[in-house]
Amino acid sequence: MTIKQIEVTVGDITNGYVNNEEQGVRGYGGKLDIRPPYQREFIYNEKEQQAVITTVLNGYPLNVMYWVKRGDDAECPYEVMDGQQRTLSLCEYVAGKFSYEFKNFFNQPKDIQRKILDYRLTVYVCEGEPSEKLEWFRTINIAGKPLNEQEINNAVYAGPFVSDAKRHFSKSNCGAYRLAKDLVNGTPIRQDFLKKALEWMADHETRMGKRQTIVGYMADHQHDPNANNLWTYFQNVINWAITNFDPRHFKKIMKGLDWALYYDKFYDKTLDTVVFARQISTLMRDSEIQRQQGIIPYVLTGDERELDLRAFPDDIKLAVWEAQGHRCAICGKEMDYEFMEGDHITPWKEGGRTVKENCQMLCRECNRRKSAK
C-alpha cells in the first residue's frame, strides 16, 4: 500500500459537484466519489457546517482528509475515505444550498468567493488492495464525528448487501423509519435502524439453531446481491407488533422492545387483541408496576419479573419485623432483620398492594419456597 500527500483547493473539490440519486455524490470534476458505499449519510448539523466555513474564511487549518485511489482507468478514480462531512459542507455551501451569516456563496463579494475557492486542503491518497483500504479505514483517527460501531461494520463489510440495506434502513425518511419510528429507538442516519435489524436477524438465526452475531451475519451476506431477506424479516416483525399492539394507544410502552423475540415466539399464534388491549390499559394505571415497558412482555409471557413490581420500603418492613417479634411468619424461626424479606400476603396478581397491612416478613428460605409455588 502506498500513501502520498497532495494539496487541492476548495475550488478543485467543488468543481462539477453533483448530489442526486442517479449520479451519486461526485466532485473534483467528476473524479471524486464523495459518498462511496461504505460511507454514512450526511450528519453535520447547521452549527457544524457553519464551523467549516468559519475555518476556511479565517484561514485556519482544516483537518487532513483521506482519499483512496481506485485506479487510473476507473470512471471515478478517487473516493473519500475520511472527510466526507467537511467535503459535503464545502460543496453544499459553494453550490448555494445554505447560508453563512445570512449570505450564501453567490451573495458574497468576489474577493470572499475567491478566498473560499483558493483555500488549500491537505489530502492523503491511499492506493492498495481493498483489504488494506478497509483496515486503514478502521484504524485512522477519524476527524469530526467519530464513526460508531455499525458505521465501521458497514465499511469493513462494504458490498451490494450493505448498499441495499442502507437504502432500506439508513436514509432520513427510509422505509424502516416510516414503518417503525414508533417502535425502534435512534435515527436511521446514525445506523440505529440497520443495527437493530441486524441484531434481530442474528438473534433469530441463533434461536433457529445457528449461533450468529451482527458481524457474522454481515460477513456471511457481504456479497449477496441485495438485503431482501433482512428487510422482509424486519417488516414481518414490525407489522406483527403493530397488528397486535396498537402504537396509537401504547406507543409509550412499545418503543425499544425486543419485538423480534416475541415475534419468533408468538407469530403463529392467534392473540386476542381486544383482551390484551383491555389488560394493558389496566396495567398502565397500576401504581405497583415500576417498569411500564415490561407490561407487554408480561401480557405475552406472564412473567411478573418483567414488571419490576414495587417492593416494601424499609420503614414498613422494620415495623412488621418488630410486630412479628423478629420471627418468620411461616416457619417461626427468629431472624435478624438483614436475613428476612418483605412478602405480599395477598400476591399482586390477586389484587395485593404494597401496604403495611399486606406485608409479612419471611426468612429467605420460606420466601423462596413460597415464590416457587
Domains detected in the chain: 2-147 (no CATH), 155-243 (no CATH), 314-372 (3.40.1800.10)
Position 51 scores a pLDDT of 93
| Least reliable range by pLDDT among 87-101, 142-156, 252-266 | 142-156
Among 302, 239, 303, smallest CA distance to 267 is for 239
pLDDT of residue 36: 77
Cβ-based neighbours of 220, under 8 Å, separated by 6 or more: none
What are 30-75's pLDDT values in tens digits?
999 998 765 656 677 888 999 999 999 999 888 888 898 887 777 8
- Taking the CA atoms of the chain, what radius of gyration do you get in angstroms? 29
Neighbouring-strand partners of residue 19: 25
Nearest-angstrom CA–CA distance, 169 and 175: 7
Which DSSP string corresponds to 118-180?
Answer: H-EEEEEEEES-HHHHHHHHHHS---SSPP-HHHHHHHHT-SHHHHHHHHHHTSTT-HHHHHH
Strands (E), the chain: 2-9, 18-20, 24-27, 32-33, 65-69, 78-82, 120-127, 340-344, 359-363
% of the chain exceeding 90 in pLDDT: 69
Does pLDDT of 267 surpass 80?
A: yes
User: Would strands 120-127 and 2-9 be described as parallel, antiparallel, or unpaired?
Assistant: antiparallel
Give 157's pLDDT tier (boundaries 50, 70, 90): confident
> What's the pLDDT tens digit per position in 312-371?
999 999 999 999 999 999 999 999 999 999 999 999 988 899 999 999 999 999 998 887
Confidence of residue 144 (pLDDT cuts 50, 70, 90): very low
Query: Which of 99-108, 114-123, 125-134, 171-180 has the least mean pLDDT?
Result: 125-134
- Please report, for the chain, how many H helices and E strands are present, in that order: 17, 9
Cβ(124)–Cβ(1) below 8 Å: no
Cell 433469530 belongs to residue: 204
pLDDT digits (tens, 9 = 90+) for 222-265: 999 999 999 999 999 999 999 999 998 999 999 999 999 999 99
Question: How would residue 87 be classed by pLDDT, with cut points 50, 70 and 90?
Answer: very high
Phi, psi torsion values for 344, nearest 5 degrees: -75, 120
Q: What is the dihedral of CA 178, 276, 252, 288, to 10 degrees?
A: -160
Reply yes or no on whether the pLDDT at 140 is more than 90.
Answer: no
pLDDT of residue 6: 92
Smallest CA-to-CA distance from 256 within 212, 221, 297 is with 297
CA distance 262 to 251: 17
d(CA 59, CA 69): 28
17-26, 99-108, 146-155, 159-168: which range is least confident on average?
146-155
Average pLDDT, the chain: 90
